[in-house]
Structure 1
Amino acid sequence: MISQQDWQGETLYILENDYLSLSLCPSINNNLIRIWDKKLNREVLRVPDAPHDLMKNPAHFGTPVLMPPNRINGGAFTFDGRPYQFAVNRPNHMHNHGILQNLPWTVKSAGEENGIISITSTFRTADFPEVMAQYPHDTEMEITYELIGSKLNHKFKITNLSNLSAPFGYGLHTWFLLDHSPSEWNLTVPLSGVWELGSDLLPTGNILPLDKFESITHGAPLEGFDLDTVFLKGDHPCVAVLENKQCKITYSSESNLMKHWVLYTKGVADNFICLEPYTWVTNAPNIDLPADVTGVQSVKPGQTLELDILLQIEHK
């Protein structure tokens, strides 16, 4: 079933079956703000109380869409010999979390067919002068959410309609709840290294051994972890597993564009962990390493890039 609901003046689209109820807010970052687990009667994500909260802090609730993800030093970089200047939106002279921020997407289609409940929304950069001032490429982005049983597929694609190659980085910043019980939640993420960060929390270009984070690769309870950490996936599958005695949440992508994870607990782990799959690493265009390491992608004129991110909940 798919329906619409008024949320203090904003329209939510509700996708619902016997397992999950999803709430999508296209008008604010196309953020999937809520996943309600019907079997366990619990919120899966950190849900904003009101649209004002989401507008003010679009990356702090639900499933923020980041293009590009994380920080860019001074908002400035060079790509294909051309300078770019993104808005400096943080006090530490950084651009953070991309050009989409809290801008509206347009619902293109919604419906149910063969047991798949889906909704597709689009964003055209040329419709927003403030975006084109930072990212002077006419591109169309499209996100389709598909709900199939207790699986949710996030399908993203970007098409470059301009006559110049466009730099591309993408990520999600998904806020999973830990119910104030981090000791009961186990996290497993295959990783190959840790990006060394400077005092400004930007990668220095050095990739360090996992050391104290090695336990996460095999599965470790989250109690005591204080994470705001950038990891290189390497040759491992892009998959994170968060589980307790009641359920197993698998967050994964088969796309070879996904190269990095950011894990963030907002201080010592208590009620949240953000599982953040990224195509490019923080400040990627300013890191003097090959693009196949940093993840910087080029979308050529007329080209379309696609990727999927799957969230699956299994009940024990």
Structure 2
Amino acid sequence: MRRTVFGLLLVAASATAATAQRTTYAPLAAQLPLGARAASLGGTNMASRDAESALGNPALAGTGSASAFTLGRYHGGTHGGVIGMTTPVGFMGVGVAVSYLDYESVGTGAPFYREEVLVSRGAGHGSSMAAAFSLSAPYKGWRWGAAVTYLEERLFSERASVAALTLGASRDNVWRGMTLGIGLQNVGPSMRGSDVTFSREATANGEADIDLPLRLAAGMSSFFVPMGAWFDLGVSGGAAVRRDGLVSGNLGGELSWNPIEGIAVGLRTGVRRPELSVQRPVTAGLGLTVDRFVVDYAWEQMRDGGGVHRVGLRVR
């Protein structure tokens, strides 16, 4: 298992690896980082115990009580937000999360909802949403989870939607105290919508099928390791293989300064091989912890100019 995970990480980190042809999938909300903290560390990690785990690795939902809310603004005028909550209920864990994106559709090319809407303005209006409810439970040293997800892409007055399933597993202390997470995300049928609106190509029955971003993902993360009297260091990394063969991955780290008990300031950065072509490889961010409250900021540069600013609040 360890060799498999490290092999995936090495493949994802290779900048010279062959790149599969990028294909357009929907919804866009299911292809973006979940929350400001995840974005600053290079992207969503399958081993991170974040409040938005229902949309990431459902096996980690309910390992603790937490809630989080993030707002983001893209240079192209697109707005997005993520809200999540997770809590234990008996021996099980429950999680809910919603990711929403509001954008102006691009009026040239096909289809309207392609990733360029994150950096460009257009004449039409579109929105994207992923909402999940998850359950998890321990069994034989592993924690197992499943999430039912509602996925939707809306363009003008047309809507395409479908229900999908995400399966996940996690295990603590697999290597030097690190947590391992594995998941199969967005398992379900294609969304179906109007051919002209969603594919820009006419079909015989007037409908178009839109594939979901099905992916197999794995990741590892560590607890904070003391680095002297006032500093702690945490690292995480992961990789994913999408249904078209595209390999993406990320590696992130956070250096936390703890001047007094209950107060911490974290400096975060991440490198990645992104899933979307408009994303750049480097991300960064900050975190301020005061007792149970954490304020997060993340910055992400986009390839066609401008960037993404995300601000989030977490309560643990």
TM over 0.5: no
* Higher percent of residues as strand: 2
Instruction: Give the structure, 1 or 2, with the largest relative contact order (CA under 8 Å, sep 6 or more).
Output: 2
TM-score (norm 1): 0.34
